[in-house]
Structure 1
Amino acid sequence: MPILDLKMKQTSKQILTILAFVLPLLGMVATTLQPVRAQSVVTLIVTDPLTGLAIAGMDPVSYFTEPAPLPGLAEYEFIWKNVVWRFATAANRDIFASAPDIYAPQYGGHDVTGVSRGFVSDSDAAIFVVFKQRLYLFYSAANREAFLLSPDAAARTAEEKWPELSKNLSIN
């Protein structure tokens, strides 16, 4: 038998022996490891990354009462769900404090079109719709237009998908 063939057989046996020893160990390690989930960087309520303000500091009540939303003022702040919300007036702050679930944007201010499609994304506080007495924010004008093509269906689908999507979001 040539030396080369003998060395190849020897090397093959060594590789097989190593594999026979290592593969079961890898199987044991794999079964003892728990799946690791990455910490979400997306928060339950969309906030400005620099200021920490909800809906870019806009007054959520003004979406319902004014032709265009008003910027909130630092002297009229209210903390709800660990997030700072600003208001144009003390009266708007007090109205929000009495019923925040009515005036806060749906889905924490995440784009409702994205939620209805099964994912979360930020929104632009200037791109909105008040539909059936609820505030919906959108990432883009195109997403708002898509929502408006069939708002009942989009809102219903988003409502169905939100509980599962929101499980993976971090608390502000």
Structure 2
Amino acid sequence: MLAFVLPLLAVLTAGSAPVRAQSVVTLIVTDPLTGIAIGGMDPVSYFTEPSPALGLPDYEFVWQNVPWYFSTPANRDVFSQAPEIYAPQFGGHGAMSMARGFVSDSDPRLYTVFKQRLYLFYSASGREAFLLAPDAAAIKAEENWAQLSKTLSIN
């Protein structure tokens, strides 16, 4: 049987280009059911409130082909002027996972604002590890993001 399958496989694949797997992980973390960025949380509120606020569909802004929700029209307008400042680093993927060299989703309730940038985490232990040496973790995550982001599909 193997003697038959191998020549057949060679004929079927002859002259064909290698197939590259399509990424199923997107550049920006979105809710798999709604497609909303960072679980519908208002990214500006991480910087302005004691705890992040849930955004509303009434105050939606689409950035990088992804809908983002905001708790107020003012927050939506601020984000629209400088989304790269308020959006989470690494598209909302787990910051400590990124520092360790792999892509993970994150929980928008697990976060830190470090050097005026929003970092989200997959787990509380990941956040704690990041906070032990945030400068080193952020630098390593940036280095890894430069390569890993190329493997992610656009939303």
TM-aligned CA deviation for residue 51 of structure 1: 0.8
Q: Which runs of 5+ in 2 are unaligned?
A: none
Structure 2: which amino acid aligns with 1:116?
Answer: A
**Matched residues, percent identical?**
68
Q: Counterparts of 1:62-141 in structure 2 under 5 Å?
A: 62-141=45-124
SS in structure 2 at match of 1:171: coil
Distance 2:55 2:13 in 1: 52
Structure 2: which amino acid aligns with 1:140?
Answer: S
SS in structure 1 at match of 2:118: strand
TM-aligned CA deviation for residue 30 of structure 1: 6.8
TM-score by length of 1: 0.82
Distance 1:96 1:77 in 2: 11
Structure 1: which amino acid aligns with 2:139?
Answer: R
SS in structure 2 at match of 1:76: strand
TM-aligned CA deviation for residue 163 of structure 1: 1.4
SS in structure 2 at match of 1:167: helix
TM-aligned CA deviation for residue 37 of structure 1: 1.4
Distance 2:99 2:14 in 1: 36
Runs of 4+ with >6 A deviation: 28-31
Distance 2:132 2:104 in 1: 20
RMSD of aligned alpha carbons: 1.7
Cα deviation digits, residues 35-75 of structure 1 (max 9, x gap): 22111100000000011100000000000000100000111
Q: Which runs of 5+ in 1 are unaligned?
A: 1-17
Residue aligning to 2:143: 160
Answer with 1 or 2: which has the greater Rg.
1
The number of residue pairs the alignment matches comes to: 150
Residue aligning to 1:169: 152
Residue aligning to 2:40: 57
TM-aligned CA deviation for residue 29 of structure 1: 7.6
Structure 2: which amino acid aligns with 1:168?
Answer: T
SS in structure 1 at match of 2:36: coil
TM-score by length of 2: 0.91
